[in-house]
Amino acid sequence: MPKPNYQYEKRQRELAKKQKKEEKARRKANPSQADSESEPTPETAQTPQDSPDVQPAAQG
């Protein structure tokens, strides 16, 4: 049985904490939009954020 990778686990906890803190700051900055948005699901919380340089395909 492999031994636990504590550094990986700690990094994941730190990233989750940081993401939660950033989300809280966004909600504080835009309180009117925060009411209409729903909380992220655990599935979306673990996926990487979309990079701003990626543009959605234009529909026309």
Report pLDDT digits (tens) over 2-15. Answer: 899 999 999 999 99
Do 19 and 45 contact (CB within 8 A), yes or no?
yes
Q: What is the CA radius of gyration of the chain?
A: 16
Q: How far apart are CA 25 and CA 4, in angstroms?
A: 33
Name the residue with higher pLDDT: 2 or 48.
2
Give the span between the Cα atoms of 56 and 47, in whole angstroms: 18
Q: Tokens in use for 54?
A: 């990626």
Domain spans of the chain, in order of start: 1-30
**3, two tokens:** 């031994």
Cβ atoms within 10 A of the Cβ of 34, count?
A: 14
Proportion of the chain above pLDDT 70, given as a percent: 55
